[in-house]
């Protein structure tokens, strides 16, 4: 699968994608996913990027602050950016509750409104992976990071649980925009190395597993994601009144969840953790 080059993405298409993705992520309750299912994931990325006091940090696709808030609590000067104003507002509330001070700024990963080399650390925790034009987003991550700075990313792997979930949704989902690439490709080391290319050095990549203990069975997983997770909600909405197709998807998602449950009642969701140095 070829990677679309930045110059081939028309401005009108980017505008449409921004509006569509904003609506998708505001259709559910992503803060519930971040707080109840993956609460530790952002801190893992902050630690891997060695974020510390005084670091200028940009979190791309920050959502409600899963990584931004731990970075701020570590003493960094943090900007949390996301397409969704609703998610940023939820993040502001969470930060206030935890005593974290940071800035929250609307931004699209395809065209970040920051100067070249503005940040010591640019990171994204299962965020930038959803920007459909991967090469454009990767170029932006590198552009805003100073030479010698750190780029860090966490993304669900194609073969892991969330990658399988997206594969399950795909036959039922609306077609992606022209040139778009699947989000879980950001969880494939070879793909990420190709995206960053000679913009970086010292690339370190590791597949890890996140232990999830939120779901008793596949039905519980499916119903939670139908209620909270934007891409799942959008897929069901695209089926309209087709009850038979919706029932098929219900069964497929529940079966996926049941297969993933281990004897101790937990799941393990694989993700790729990448850290690289800006060349």
How far is CA 61 from its chain centroid?
A: 6
Indicate whether 43 belongs to any domain.
Answer: yes
3-state secondary structure the chain: CCCCCHHHCCHHHHHHHHHHHHHHHHCCCHHHHHHHCCCCHHHHHHHHCCCCCCCEEEEECCCCCCCHHHHHHCCCEEEEEECCHHHHHHHHHHHHHHCCCCEEEECECCECCCCCCCEEEEEEECCHHHCCCHHHHHHHHHHCEEEEEEEEEEEECCCCHHHHHHHHHHHHCCCCCCCCCCHHHHHCHHHHHHHHHHHEEEEEEEEEEEEECCCCCHHHHHHHHHHHCHHHHHHHHHCCCCHHHHHHHHHHHHHHHHHHCCCCCCEEEEEEEEEEEEC
- Residues across the chain: 279
Residue closest to 271 by CA, chosen among 66, 121, 32, 29: 66
Measure the CA–CA gap between 68 and 43, rounded to whole angstroms.
9
Specify the number of domains making up the chain: 1
Measure the CA–CA gap between 213 and 275, rounded to whole angstroms.
27
pLDDT in single tens digits along all 279 residues of the chain: 444 455 579 999 999 999 999 999 999 999 999 999 999 999 999 999 999 999 999 999 999 999 999 999 999 999 999 999 999 999 999 999 999 999 999 999 999 999 999 999 999 999 999 999 999 999 999 999 999 999 999 999 999 999 999 999 999 999 999 999 999 999 999 999 999 999 999 999 999 999 999 999 999 999 999 999 999 999 999 999 999 999 999 999 999 999 999 999 999 999 999 999 999
Indicate whether 105 belongs to any domain.
Answer: yes
For the chain, what is the radius of gyration of the CA atoms?
A: 18
pLDDT for the residue 1: 42
Indicate whether 46 belongs to any domain.
Answer: yes
CB count within 10 Å of CB 116 equals 10
Indicate whether 101 belongs to any domain.
Answer: yes
Tokens, residue 154? 């966490």
pLDDT for the residue 7: 54
Indicate whether 201 belongs to any domain.
Answer: yes
Measure the CA–CA gap between 75 and 174, rounded to whole angstroms.
42
pLDDT for the residue 8: 75
CATH code for the domain of 97? 3.40.50.150
pLDDT for the residue 4: 45
Q: Which pLDDT tens digit goes with each residue over 58-115?
A: 999 999 999 999 999 999 999 999 999 999 999 999 999 999 999 999 999 999 999 9
Measure the CA–CA gap between 16 and 179, rounded to whole angstroms.
13
Indicate whether 224 belongs to any domain.
Answer: no
Indicate whether 142 belongs to any domain.
Answer: yes
Q: Which structural domain range is residue 185 located in?
A: 6-158+175-211+269-278
Q: Model-level pTM?
A: 0.96
Indicate whether 1 belongs to any domain.
Answer: no
């Amino acid at each position: 699968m070829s990677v679309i080059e930045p110059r081939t993405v028309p401005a009108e298409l980017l505008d449409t994608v921004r509006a569509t993705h904003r609506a998708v992520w505001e259709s559910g309750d992503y803060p519930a996913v971040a707080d109840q299912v993956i609460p530790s994931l952002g801190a893992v990325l902050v630690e891997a990027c060695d974020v510390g006091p005084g670091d200028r940090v940009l979190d791309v696709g920050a959502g409600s602050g899963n990584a931004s808030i731990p970075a701020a609590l570590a003493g960094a000067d943090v900007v949390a950016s996301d397409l969704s104003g609703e998610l940023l507002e939820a993040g502001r509330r969470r930060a206030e509750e935890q005593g974290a001070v940071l800035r929250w700024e609307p931004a699209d990963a395809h065209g970040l409104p920051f100067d070249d080399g503005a940040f010591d650390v640019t990171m994204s925790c299962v965020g930038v992976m959803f920007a459909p034009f991967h090469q454009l987003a990767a170029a932006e991550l590198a552009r805003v990071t100073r030479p010698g700075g750190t780029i860090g990313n966490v993304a669900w792997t194609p073969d892991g649980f969330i990658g399988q979930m997206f594969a399950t949704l795909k036959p039922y989902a609306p077609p992606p925009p022209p040139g778009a690439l699947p989000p879980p490709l950001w969880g494939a080391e070879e793909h990420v190395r190709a995206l960053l290319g000679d913009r970086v050095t010292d690339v370190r990549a590791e597949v890890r597993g996140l232990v999830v203990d939120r779901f008793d069975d596949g039905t519980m997983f499916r119903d939670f994601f139908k209620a909270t997770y934007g891409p799942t909600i959008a897929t069901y909405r695209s089926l309209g009144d087709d009850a038979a197709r919706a029932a098929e998807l219900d069964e497929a998602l529940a079966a996926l969840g049941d297969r993933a449950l281990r004897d101790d009642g937990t799941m393990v969701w694989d993700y790729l953790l990448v850290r690289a140095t800006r060349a």
